[in-house]
Chain A
Amino acid sequence: MSIKKNDLPGRSKPLIFIIMGFLLVLIFILDLFLGSVNIRPAEVIRAIFRDTGSDIETIVMQFRLPKAITSVFVGIALSLSGLQMQTIFRNPLAGPYILGVSSGASLGVAIVILGFSSGLVLSGLQGFGNWILVISAWAGAGAVMMLIMFISSRLRDIMTILILGIMLASGLTAIVSIMQYFSSESMLKAYVIWTMGSLGNLSSGQLNVLVISVSTGIFISILSIKRLNALLLGENYAGSMGLNVKASRTIVFVCTSILAGSVTAFCGPIGFIGIAVPHIVRNIFKTSDHAILVPGSILAGGIVMTASDIVSQLPGSESVLPINSVTSLIGIPVVIWIILRNRNNSVLF
């Protein structure tokens, strides 16, 4: 970030929000215009607003528009869950992917698909099945959140917690592999199809569930702004200022589990957006105030994720990169920067 400390007077913050909002709209439109099939912008716009029944309309309305909407909501969900995890664990390296919350959600999904009849998810119960899928992902994510909280109440060292989180993620993935080994062919097929899930594979029913869940998460996050600010000082200070720490912790757990779990349920585990975006936002706005960081993460999360989606399309070419490799290449430099800055554990965020 090129902005120097103290260079940013408070009054320019609305301007940054306006620029970010503009960027999000711009990138969203770009995402509609760019893809493996070359379609002129004018035709894209016509396809959105007019019922032409052409192939172009099918591409734009059935594929590009849902995918762009998915990208925005996935970006928002991962960034907001990362932000809240970093605050509640007081750990700059916390994020749904790195601490195994996404793997927990995967295990939840695997238990539903592999453990029960695969028909449950794939059959005519489609709409209902999506909710079962997403709720099991929430439960898996929530279980890992509680485990990490339990560990971090005993160990303060953020690097140790990070390593344990990675171990936990590997362990959960191993359990899923074992379950795959013992499951029947049809269940396995259903599960493998799920693991290949990306931003573009959502049915309209799934997109509905994702949008409803993430919107709920956004709503809870906005209601949590005040308590997140108090939690920046740790649970002791927050409690001494009148915060109900237990209730707040539960609310943050539920909120992050809904956000990270919903994304994992429909798009698979997507790495490094949750950890990187909150840091980018903190450094753009130079603040620790969640009244700025929550809306900032919503905008930046949407921008970064949609931009990653555009890059993964390799516009103009036939091939598509896995979304996870793009987000990793964006996120890992940020993580390395945090680790280098935290060598002596002197700064928390």
Chain B
Amino acid sequence: MEVRDSSILSFDSLEIGYGSRNRKRILLPPLSATANRGELVAVIGRNGVGKSTLLRSLIGLQPFYGGNIIINNENLSDIPRLELARRIGYISTEIIRVSNMTVYDLVALGRFPHTNWIGRIDNKSNEAIANAISKTGMSKLERRYIVELSDGERQRVMIARVLAQDADIMVMDEPTAFLDLPGKYEIVNLIRNLARSGKTIIFSTHDINVALKLTDRIWLILKDRLIEGSPDELLKNGSLESMFESSESGADIKDYLKYFL
């Protein structure tokens, strides 16, 4: 696959799945796609198709069984653990509930790949933490305990943690899953602004509205392939419709998708 200069993350013939060497289960045929610097990329697809597995493979949490992942022109498997954490950060769907942990404490954990053996927060780290907290609009809540936060605020703190990690790429698994409508748009706006400021953000979502209107690129995962393109391209060439092929209400959804054209 041709890798353009602006490509910050790409994968080629990637075989994702899980299990041990002997009993591995490969979820999808080999996948290829690219994300460019500063792009907001939505990963969409039906439940259980392998979105989370793909995202986990991209950050090195899940072994993959074929192909390769290139980050900053370097093969993922050649990048040491800590160095990888300085390049790519991750937010899963798991909700963190630790009592007696403040917003500051949680964001400070993002400095893990930058601090010394005991995790000392030096001036540089402190500045990065303060910056991350202010960029996510959480400055007033800095000393609050995370168990007291709303779902939206907690998601902001998780984003601040990844910002403090100072990675150029952020991978998020359904960052808007638990949020109400206003909360959802606040978070999407936040990550869109972060993308505008130069971060590359790859996130999975079930919200077609968000994916079509607000992102730069979509990775559409179907059962037999990954289709990549801008929202417009996917709408015009009818790729999105194939996501609903097996669905009973397929026809209605095709009508619905026309509104985005």
Which residues in A have some Cβ–Cβ distance to B below 8 Å? Answer: 5-6, 222-223, 225-226, 229-230, 232-234, 236-237, 239-244, 282-283, 285-289, 291, 346-349
Contacts and interface: CB of A to CB of B under 8 A. Distances in A.
Given A223-B117, A226-B117, A240-B59, A282 B100 contact: yes
B90 A240 contact: yes
A40 B90 CA distance: 63
Nearest to A226: B119
B90 A242 contact: no
Contact of B81 (A226, A242, A347, A348): A242
Contacts of B60: 239-240
B156 to A, nearest CB: 16
Contact of A288 (B82, B83, B99, B165): B99
Contact of B143 (A6, A233, A285, A347): A6
Q: Which of B89, B118, B165 is packed against the most chain A CB atoms within 10 Å?
A: B118
Contacts of A240: 59-61, 85, 89-90
A230 B112 contact: yes
Contacts, number: 91
A12 to B, nearest CB: 14
Interface residues of B, number: 36
Contact of A241 (B56, B109, B117, B145): B109
B98 A241 contact: no
Contacts of B165: 241
B113 interface: yes
A240 B57 CA distance: 11
B96 interface: yes
B92 interface: yes
B61 A291 contact: no
A230 B109 contact: yes
Interface in B84-102: 84-86, 89-90, 92, 94, 96-102
Contacts of A234: 94, 96
B119 A225 contact: yes
**Is chain A's binding surface mostly helix, strand, loop or mixed?**
loop
A227 to B, nearest CB: 9
A349 B147 CA distance: 10
A229 B109 contact: yes
A241 B94 contact: no
Given A232-B98, A236-B92, A348-B98, 12 more contacts: A5-B145, A226-B112, A233-B109, A239-B60, A241-B109, A243-B112, A282-B99, A282-B100, A287-B105, A288-B98, A288-B101, A288-B105
**Residue of B97, B109, B143 ringed by the most chain A CB atoms within 10 A:** B109
B239 interface: no
12 contacts: A226-B115, A234-B96, A241-B109, A241-B113, A243-B81, A282-B99, A285-B100, A286-B100, A347-B147, A348-B97, A348-B99, A349-B100
Interface string B143-154: 111010000000
B82 A242 contact: yes
A289 B105 contact: yes
Listed from nearest, the 3 A-B pairs whose CB atoms lie closest are A242-B85, A226-B119, A240-B90
Contact of B100 (A230, A242, A243, A288): A288
Nearest to B111: A241
B85 to A, nearest CB: 3
B101 A236 contact: no
Contacts of B38: none
B110 interface: yes
Contacts of A226: 112, 115, 117-119
Contacts of B119: 225-226, 229, 291
Contacts of A233: 96, 98, 106, 109
Contacts of B101: 232, 287-288
A283 B92 CA distance: 29
Contacts of A229: 109, 112, 119
Nearest to B113: A242
Contact of A347 (B86, B90, B99): B99
A225 B121 CA distance: 13
Contacts of A242: 81-86, 112-113
Contacts of A241: 85, 89, 109-110, 112-113, 165
Contacts of B145: 5-6
A315 B210 CA distance: 72
A234 B94 CA distance: 9
Nearest to A6: B143
A193 B2 CA distance: 75
A8 to B, nearest CB: 10
Interface in B196-231: none
B250 to A, nearest CB: 35
Nearest to B117: A226
A229 B92 CA distance: 18
Contacts of B109: 229-230, 232-233, 241
Contacts of A291: 118-119
Nearest to A286: B100
Contacts of A347: 97-99, 147
A249 B81 CA distance: 16
B105 to A, nearest CB: 6
A229 B116 CA distance: 13
A237 B102 CA distance: 17
